[in-house]
Amino acid sequence: MLTLPHLKTLDIGRWLLIGLSITILFSTFLSNVIEITLLGLFIFNKDLRARFWHFKNQPLLLASGLFICLLFVDCFYSVAPVKETLESLWGWRKILLLPLGLVLFNDVLWKNKFAYSLMIFVSIVSLFCIPFYLLELNIHGAEPGVLIRNHSTQGMIFSATLFLMGMFLLFKTHMLPIRSLWILVFMLMILGVLVYMTPGRSGYLAFIMMTVYFGYLLFREKLYKILSLVLLLSSTLLVSSPVVQDRIDLGVKEMHHVDPASIESSSMGLRMTLWKNTIELIQDRPLLGFGTGGFEEAYRQKIKDNPDWEKNIIHDPHNQFLKIWAEMGMLGLIIFLSMLTSSLFQKSSKMYFHLGIGVLIAWCATSLFSSHFSTFTEGRFIYIWLGIMLASESNKIKR
């Protein structure tokens, strides 16, 4: 039987992880403080450490543990200097948030607390985005109306929150009508800010992937009228938005014409060059890769005789799967993909299982164009999200 001190410590750990999911959206300093505190709590509290043994049979927990072990092993043959290797390994500490979430959030009620905390925070942020956009104000150098990190991050977080709200309306049919109405109102507001004020292609892609998955769930539930309404509304907004059309048109033009004179301002053009060089790099060591943190050093040597305009970005190929393949080899890529696939075998309740899988699919799609499993905000967010949503529950509530 759990003791009272253990319950208090457990709740502190849960609130810390919920708090971290919020602070990563606006403060690096606070995020690092909370993250270190949370890791320290597990290191020095034997009851929390014991939870890993109690919940050890979760497929995602075992697979993430294997990937973490491989990160350490690959340090021993990394081509990067020791300092860069250790910095890269330390940067991967974010993946520890996944197993922490899996052992902390075995309670549906705490999953609900996380969900409502995120919905409330994003709703408040989206409300402030409107006057910032209309008055052409900006913070930390971002575009007007972008208050979360940058336009890509804001778009992805808003998309995940919209998906979360939609799932609550679909599965939590017992909610009070007034609460459902408020969720619907804030959904429309967040959707408007996402489509008409947030110029991020990653956000649009995440929104499309989660909308398709949500549509699939509506189809399974035979809610054809709602499905038609969702598809009609989302497609109409995307097509009618000048912001969306401008960003997509620009991306297509950049992919078809890479101009060395303007490569720094051509994000898709630069990506095309990065992908070509990274694929050639992988062919040199396809099985084992260049070790943890070894991409930048290997890529620098690869393009040392190339034109200067190709050397603008050498630390990230802007494709998560190519980056892992380059650093950890085919074995590392297989283990990483197996870790993601193991999410399908988690025994979480129906709504939260689909929430985990839907956002995971969106992150995989955007990670074809960025490294969203290893960036500071998006990486931490997806590991926290998967850990909380997919944690096996000891008190499942039928939905």
Query: pTM higher than 0.85 for the full model?
Result: yes
d(CA 85, CA 329): 16
Output the 3-class SS for 128-187. HHHHHHHCCCCCCCCCCCCCCCCHHHHHHHHHHHHHHHHHHHHHCCCCCHHHHHHHHHHH
Average pLDDT score over the chain: 89
Does the pLDDT of residue 4 top 70, yes or no? no
Give the Cα separation of 132 and 147 in Å (integer).
Answer: 9
> Across residues 62-87, what is the average pLDDT?
95
Q: Evaluate whether 287 touches 329 at the Cβ level (below 8 Å).
A: yes
User: Residue 398: its pLDDT value, please?
Assistant: 39
Torsion of CA 353, 359, 364, 370, to 10 degrees: -150
Mean pLDDT confidence for 54-83 = 94
Mean pLDDT computed over 138-161: 89
The residue type of 253 is: K
Inform me whether the pLDDT recorded for 264 exceeds 80: no
pLDDT, position 247? 74
d(CA 65, CA 68): 5
**Mean pLDDT, residues 182-200:** 93
- 145 DSSP 8-state letter: T
| Cα radius of gyration rounded to whole Å, the chain | 21
Q: Give me the residue label for tokens 């939609």.
A: 166
First to last CA, the chain: 28
Q: What is the pLDDT of residue 149?
A: 84
Residue 235 has pLDDT above 80, yes or no: yes
Q: Over the stretch 195-211, which tens digit does the pLDDT of each residue have?
A: 999 988 899 999 999 99
Q: Are 7 and 45 in contact (CB under 8 A)?
A: no
